[in-house]
Structure 1
Amino acid sequence: MTISQTAPVSSGALWTGRVLSGLIVLFMIFDGVIKLPPLDVVTQTMTQIGWPADANVARLLGVIGLISTALYAVPRTSVLGAILLTAYMGGAIATHMRIGSPLFSHTLFGVYLGIILWGGLFLRDPRVRALIPFSR
């Protein structure tokens, strides 16, 4: 099935996808921006989860997250952005698993974000619907 043969999505589904994607973009902008300045809360939290208390490490993670989010927000590069954000969240999941964080509230939080991220993209992008054709 080609993209042109993909069943059209309803207006409601399209807007649901946009809202879900918008929530991810807003969350990830917040996540990235708070890592840019050397905030004590960020370096303390990074130390608690086993990362070095180095503002440059936090800043680099923030920049990676923001670049990936920008790619996700632009329709032409949204699939690449989704892949990069999925990898970013995978790192967070691995970090929380390594230190034994609570499963449903901390460790799986990246999984929840990934489901919202890909669900939003699936609803708003016919290319993704063509790649992942759920049958009715």
Structure 2
Amino acid sequence: MTDPISSESVPAKGPLIAGRILSGLVILFLLFDAGLKLVSPETAIRYSPPGLGWPLDVSTMTLLGTLLLIPTLLYIWPRTAILGAILITAYLGGAVATHVRIHSPLFSHILFGVYLGVMLWGGLWLRDPRVRALIPLSKGAIQ
């Protein structure tokens, strides 16, 4: 039996660097967002869009910050990056649903979580052979 994740599936230097940059941008944004909610929840409350339907209080911001920080830390560590990506995707799905519910603008608000999710998974796909084995994008791999 052959290993589906062999040395042949290790990304070339270019895609690996691109994946790390893409993942790094997502990580920086998520750490900033979670950190703001945890360190200065009052500031997060002040700049939250009105009418989201969430209670705008310190305990809610702290909870949301924690629920984002933990999967982001899992995403940073290569051994748990896939689990982190799954949990962040769930968090982003909640953000998308919240904006759909209040009829936010499509391209700037509703789809922002989708953009972030595509960058999250794209960066992981470029740098992790396990993800490329699960999601083959080349024609030769899909048979």
TM above 0.5: yes
Aligned twin of 1:122: 125
- 1:88-127 matches, cutoff 5 A: 88-127=91-130
Count of residues in correspondence between the two structures = 136
Q: Residues of 2 paired with 1:6 and 1:80: CA distance?
A: 24
Cα drift, residue 135 of structure 1 = 1.7
Unaligned runs of at least 5 residues, structure 2: none
Partner SS, residue 15 of structure 1:
helix
**Is 1:134 the counterpart of 2:125 in the alignment?**
no
CA contact (8 A) 1:34 1:42 kept: yes
- Between stretches 39-48 and 110-119, larger displacement belongs to 39-48
**Is 1:56 the counterpart of 2:65 in the alignment?**
no
- 1:63-102 matches, cutoff 5 A: 63-102=66-105
Q: Residues of 1 paired with 2:65 and 2:124: CA distance?
A: 22
Aligned twin of 1:30: 32
- Between stretches 115-124 and 1-10, larger displacement belongs to 1-10
Partner SS, residue 76 of structure 1:
helix
CA contact (8 A) 1:93 1:108 kept: yes
Cα drift, residue 39 of structure 1 = 3.7
1:80-131 deviation line (CA, Å, top 9, x unaligned): 0000000000000000000000000000000000000000000000000011
Q: TM-score by structure 1 length?
A: 0.93
Cα drift, residue 37 of structure 1 = 3.7
Aligned twin of 1:12: 14
Residue type matched to 1:15 in 2?
I
Q: Residues of 2 paired with 1:70 and 1:34: CA distance?
A: 15
Residue type matched to 2:97 in 1?
A
Identity of aligned residues (%): 57
Following TM superposition, where does structure 1 have runs of at least 4 consecutive aligned residues deviating by more than 3 angstroms? 5-8, 37-41
Q: Residues of 2 paired with 1:52 and 1:15: CA distance?
A: 41
